[in-house]
Amino acid sequence: MNVIIAGAGRAGAALAARLAEGGHRVTVIDPDRRTFDALPRPRIDSGEITVIEGDGASNDVLEKAGIQEAGLFIAVAEQDVRNGLLAQKAKLIYRVKRVICSVKDEYLSAIYRGAGIETVNPAQMEIEQVMAMLGGV
Amino acid sequence: MYVIVSGAGSLGSALAASLVAAGHEVFVIDPDAALLARAQEDLGSVGRAGYASSVAVLTEAGAARAQIFVAVTPSDEENLAACQLAKRVLQTPRTVALANQPDNVRLFETVGVDAVVSKIDVLIANLAGSLPAHPLLKLMPVAAGSREVVGIKIPALSVAVGRAVREISLPYGSMVILVVSADGKVQTGQPDTVLQAEDEVIAVAPADAAETLWEALTELR
């Protein structure tokens, strides 16, 4: 499957590596090329991971990343509102089948889910992990 | 009316000022406290430092009783999220957003922002309005000087673009003779000849109506 990941931060880079390992063709978009250093170099050289330095909200950049053929779009940039714009564009304008968006704000999360986007909340996962460690405090 | 404006930059503060001048109640939101303070000094209206893409900030601003929410920050993602929250969570009846990137206009409209203002369109319209229009070329006086053959170039933003000759109100006694397109195609002027941007029109008009004809063909949208 062709996968586009917007945002090459910690989560984006790790996801790209895992998905490429699983045999998917992954394209990573980030405006800051330095973030690409966190990606596995051999998989970039072999073409399993493609990197695009640019603004993920630009239609040119998205089309260059092959959004028309992508089966999965993952928005994992820093900010909720950024991820929301990218994920909604992928889902509502480019009709990508599966779109996953990282968002901490519950109100925004509900709006994006209403548009058929799957949401993950990194803050909530952190809270749940800590609570699990504390074991029913 | 009660209007909330997100963005106290040059656009937001000018908009807020004109709304206040028109007698509306205005609340301004901007994350930059210094910008906000400057806007408030000029306006005397209330405001809050923060991001409008937060339900807490919108609630405090009174978005639930506002008739219009306007987002004109330089960040498209901020403008979009703020409008979606205002509309969906606080039920503000009308939302207006600035799309800094023309690429985002369609998405804004698709998710239900009521009015989308494209920055490029605003700039082009302003720029075109401030540029001198193509001049009226008086080619040849005819009929003992009572008529004038003129050349008029159609500006890209003219009201005449996309219209047939018969749909344009031309001064009495004037007639479009030839329409030459930018790529050199020549058509005789018929009532159903549609004018395009940058077409050059050769027309005849009563000598005292040549200017009026020029205005009819070059007036900006």
* Nearest Cα residue in chain B from A62: B103
Report the largest interatomic distance among the alpha carbons of chain B, rounded to a whole angstrom: 76
3-state SS, residue A116:
coil
Confidence of residue B22 (pLDDT cuts 50, 70, 90): confident
- Report the pLDDT value the prediction gives residue B46, as an integer from 0 to 100: 85
Which one of B81, B103, B110 has the shortest CB-CB distance to A108?
A: B81
| Total of domains in chain A | 1
Q: What is the pLDDT of residues A12-43, one digit of tens each?
A: 999 999 999 999 999 999 999 999 999 999 99
Better-predicted residue by pLDDT, B150 or B129? B150
Assess whether B43 and B102 both reside in one domain.
Answer: yes
Tell me the residue type at B18. S
Residue B163's domain comprises 137-218
User: CA angle, corner B52, sides to B46 and B53, nearest 5?
Assistant: 170
Chain A residues in contact with chain B using a Cβ-Cβ cutoff of 8 Å: 57-60, 79-82, 84-85, 88-89, 92-93, 105, 107-108, 111, 115
Which one of A59, A85, A107 has the shortest CB-CB distance to B77?
A: A85
DSSP state string for B128-191:
HHHSPPPPPEEEEEETTTTEEEEEEEPPTTBTTTT-BGGGS-PPTT-EEEEEE-TT--EEE--T
Residues of A in contact with B77 (CB under 8 A): 57, 79, 81-82, 84-85
Predicted confidence (pLDDT) at residue B44 exceeds the cutoff of 90: no
In Å, how far is B110's CA from the nearest CA of chain A? Answer: 7
Assess whether B118 and B40 both reside in one domain.
Answer: yes
Predicted confidence (pLDDT) at residue B122 exceeds the cutoff of 60: yes
- Residue B93: inside a domain: yes
How far CA B189 is from CA of B160, B179, B198, in Å, comes to 14, 6, 16
Q: Which of B88, B56, B31 is nearest to B80 (CA)?
A: B88
Confidence of residue B14 (pLDDT cuts 50, 70, 90): confident
Give B 20-59 residues with CB within 8 A of chain A. Answer: 53-55
d(CA A126, CA B139): 78
B106 touches chain A (CB under 8 A): yes
Locus of tokens 């009660």: B2
Instruction: List all residues 6 or more positions away from B85 whose beta carbon is below 8 Å from its beta carbon.
Output: A107, A108, A111, B52, B53, B54, B55, B58
Tell me the residue type at A22. G
| Total of domains in chain B | 2
* Nearest Cα residue in chain A from B89: A107
Instruction: List all residues 6 or more positions away from A128 whose beta carbon is below 8 Å from its beta carbon.
Output: none
Assess whether B18 and B103 both reside in one domain.
Answer: yes
- Report the pLDDT value the prediction gives residue B130, as an integer from 0 to 100: 54
Locus of tokens 């397109």: B181
Locus of tokens 């306006």: B43
B100 touches chain A (CB under 8 A): no
Phi first, then psi: give them for residue A66, nearest 5 degrees. 80, 35
Give the domain CATH number at B84: 3.40.50.720
Q: What is the pLDDT of residues B157-172, one digit of tens each?
A: 888 999 999 999 999 9
Give the domain CATH number at A123: 3.40.50.720
Q: What is the pLDDT of residues A101-113, one digit of tens each?
A: 999 999 999 999 9
Q: What is the pLDDT of residues A40-91, one digit of tens each?
A: 999 999 999 999 999 999 999 999 999 999 999 999 999 999 999 999 999 9
- Residue B197: inside a domain: yes
- Report the pLDDT value the prediction gives residue B156, as an integer from 0 to 100: 81
Instruction: Report the share of chain B in percent with pLDDT over 70.
Output: 96
In Å, how far is B77's CA from the nearest CA of chain A? Answer: 5
**Average pLDDT of B57-82?**
97
